[in-house]
A = this chain, B = another copy of it.
């Protein structure tokens, strides 16, 4: 029985590029086969429960703009209405996955026991709905940044009681994720960082964060959770500095605490940009280490210095991102989550559908362009040619040599390399043939 929230909006279907129906897929065709796999299985789209259903349209200078039947969000009854609407939207969009924080699903209760009990109650309710829905859980996570108890961090809090509360919370969320068949579990440490070094013992906090993450990994194995544990880099906001700054920083952290074989990354385009990187850079860094887990495909406005979490809308950028993903073997158990919120002025149910439809279509175009480039092979051929010198045995010997021997060789052979063009414009033009 419909909640009526989406009244007048039909299921979104593929109508092809010529369609001018604003609520149709023009490029996302789930069953279309790209490089031997269905598009749905490549992209593994997920809706983020928080931005779509729990965020009320506030920003630092203004309050709620949206009006929804499940507001105010302080009641378990309305939490169920919210869930009903969410699954209606999953069905309208035909998305295979969704994601949640505990705090999105039901109101914060102010104490752990009630937080746990209500989480169990609402996830049981979700579980019932999932029995008749195609939409599965891509990942669950704990919101350990909104309530005031987390203001100085969760696992990195100066107060051990907060560490304990955090550990108890993650156990609850990981259990619930496992119960619902979640395919990954994510940790984003929005307050694991600092506002000022003046009151912060950075080394001790990092050690606690490392220990905490190890416990999460241990518990995952203990309960037989087969999904991946993912951390999500972001440089700052809400913290002045967040420890999981970017992919390279996270990887260094994981290696320090011996977790590089256990934990992967959930990369977000907007966070890449806030950290001073392109999204493809973050993907390439993770891929080079075999640590690419999943992506949040939401962009940041290039002129804004905060996390705007917008739906993607630039095919050339998205295409290059999927190019690196496909090169790395695809998303595996990960997916393409939209950690994207509507603009605060986009008040209507139709806007919520349109945001997702547009984002999914952009990704579909990007994926197809990326696949076409890989199949054409132009970039890979150019790369092979550029590094071909390293295939020779003398080059391999070089890597196994030492400074003194190399200097002697350079002197005796008069090695004096001549630069070769990097051909950047030609390669950029090549990409533009496909996007």
Contacts and interface: CB of A to CB of B under 8 A. Distances in A.
A261 interface: no
The 7 closest A-B pairs by CB, nearest first: A305-B305, A252-B252, A345-B422, A203-B288, A358-B429, A160-B395, A161-B417
A394 interface: yes
Contacts of A358: 425-426, 428-429, 432
Contact of A252 (B150, B238, B248, B342): B248
B168 A199 contact: no
A379 B201 CA distance: 11
A345 B167 contact: no
A386 interface: yes
A433 interface: yes
Interface in A11-29: 20, 22, 26
Contacts of A347: 419-421
Contact of A164 (B240, B320, B410): B410
Contacts of A170: 403
A203 B292 CA distance: 14
A304 interface: yes
Interface string A164-185: 1101101110100000000000
A2 interface: no
B304 A399 contact: no
Contacts of A165: 410, 415-417
A155 B422 CA distance: 16
A61 B196 contact: no
Given A275-B276, A313-B431, A350-B426, 6 more contacts: A63-B147, A112-B411, A113-B414, A152-B420, A167-B398, A171-B403
A296 interface: no
A271 B392 CA distance: 37
A81 interface: no
A133 interface: no
Interface string A343-370: 1111110110011011001100000000
Contacts of A26: 433
A236 interface: yes
Nearest to A352: B425
A385 to B, nearest CB: 9
A253 interface: yes
Point out which of A307, A420, A423 has the most chain B C-beta atoms below 10 A from its C-beta.
A423
A54 to B, nearest CB: 12
Contacts of A255: 252, 255-256
Interface string A116-153: 10000000000000000000000000000111111110
A22 to B, nearest CB: 6
Nearest to A355: B425
A198 interface: yes
A227 interface: no
A424 B198 contact: yes
A176 B281 CA distance: 37
B160 A390 contact: yes
Contact of A238 (B61, B116, B350, B406): B61
A424 B273 contact: no
A241 B304 CA distance: 9
Nearest to A416: B111
Interface in A84-117: 110-113, 116
A60 interface: yes
Given A197-B284, A313-B316, A344-B151, A59 B406 contact: no
Contact of A273 (B20, B196, B302, B311): B302
